[in-house]
């Protein structure tokens, strides 16, 4: 049974990460399922716009930290390749993609939201680049997205501190384009997607391509750099300490190794 649901509403496809008990944290199987779902709606000519959201009270609480570790360098590279394929599929889709964010959009969940074209969120949604809390650097293209949407200095503050911030602050930082009450998030996202679905599909697709080629390095080039950095960090003592602290619900004691 897939952990990702697809619902078609006329020309709009709603893709839902459906593991509410785990706050939609992505394990390897969910990543594979999401990649399959995104490719499916991308190739469906009847779908002209997409909404990406999460079931329950969270968008996506990041990676499943409890299942990290024990993979070795090769396993870590494969995990990251799957994650990169997922982000590429969302970001590179020719159709407009709207993120509907309630609750947590953390780690890779944050990256997925930014990979969408427009983000609709509730004021009480919470965002965080939590990677340094478990001894890792951000992945999923997070730094590429952040630097371009809010500038280097503010992006570095969010990454280095790993602090949580609200949907309201995310809107002020330019990371959220529509801020609405929690009970209106999905309806607002659906309304925007329906509007885009009625638009000139080819013109919107070409506009997305122009945006994608307006920055350097490209997302593709940046993800290749992540593939060099991320797997190496997954083997460090600091990452092992970060995982242990997360499981034991305590503050990590990093040693810099």
What pLDDT is recorded for position 160? 95
Sign of the C-alpha dihedral computed for residues 118, 105, 62 and 33 taken in this order = negative
* Residues in a beta bridge with 7: 14
pLDDT band at 1, cuts 50/70/90?
low
Structure tokens at 123: 């004021």
Binning pLDDT at 50, 70 and 90, where does residue 162 land?
very high
Banded pLDDT at 66 (limits 50, 70, 90)? low
User: Which of these, 96, 106, 91, lies nearest to 167 by C-alpha position?
Assistant: 106
- The C-alpha torsion from 37 through 39 and 40 to 43, rounded to 10°, is 160
Mean pLDDT, residues 205-231: 85
Report pTM: 0.86
For 18-28, what is each residue's pLDDT tens digit? 999 999 999 88
Residue range 4-183, CATH number: 3.90.226.10
DSSP string for the chain: --SEEEEEETTEEEEEE--GGGTT-B-HHHHHHHHHHHHHHHH-TT--EEEEEESTT-SB--B-GGG-SSSHHHHHHHHHHHHHHHHHHHHH-SS-EEEEE-SEEETHHHHHHHHSSEEEE-TT-EEE--GGGGT----TTHHHHHHHHH-HHHHHHHHHH---EEHHHHHHTTS-SEE--GGGHHHHHHHHHHHHHTS-HHHHHHHHHHHHTSSSS-HHHHHHHHHHHHHHHTTSHHHHHHHHHHHHTS-------
pLDDT score at 70: 55
């Amino acid at each position: 049974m897939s952990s990702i649901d697809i619902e078609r509403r006329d020309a709009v496809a709603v893709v839902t990460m459906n593991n509410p008990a785990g706050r939609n944290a992505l394990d390897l199987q969910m990543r594979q399922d999401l990649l399959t779902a995104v490719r499916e709606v991308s190739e469906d000519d009847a779908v002209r716009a997409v909404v990406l959201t999460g079931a329950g009270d969270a968008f996506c609480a990041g990676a499943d930290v409890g299942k990290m570790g024990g993979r070795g360098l090769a396993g870590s590279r494969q995990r990251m390749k799957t994650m990169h394929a997922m982000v590429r599929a969302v970001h590179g889709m020719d159709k407009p993609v709207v993120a509907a964010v309630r609750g947590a959009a953390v780690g890779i969940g944050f990256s997925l939201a930014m990979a969408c074209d427009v983000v609709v969120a509730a004021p009480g949604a919470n965002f965080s680049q939590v990677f340094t809390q478990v001894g890792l650097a951000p992945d999923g293209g997070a730094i590429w997205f952040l630097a371009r949407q809010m500038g280097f200095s503010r992006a570095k503050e969010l990454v280095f501190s790993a602090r949580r911030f609200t949907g309201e602050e995310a809107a002020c930082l330019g990371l959220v384009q529509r801020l609405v009450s929690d009970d209106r998030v999905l309806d607002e996202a659906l309304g925007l997607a329906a509007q885009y679905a009625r638009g000139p599909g080819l013109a919107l697709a070409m506009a997305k391509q122009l945006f994608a080629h307006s920055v350097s390095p490209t997302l593709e080039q940046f993800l290749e750099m992540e593939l060099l950095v991320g797997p190496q960090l997954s083997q460090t003592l600091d990452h092992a300490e970060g995982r242990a602290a997360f499981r034991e619900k305590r503050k990590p004691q990093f040693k810099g190794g």
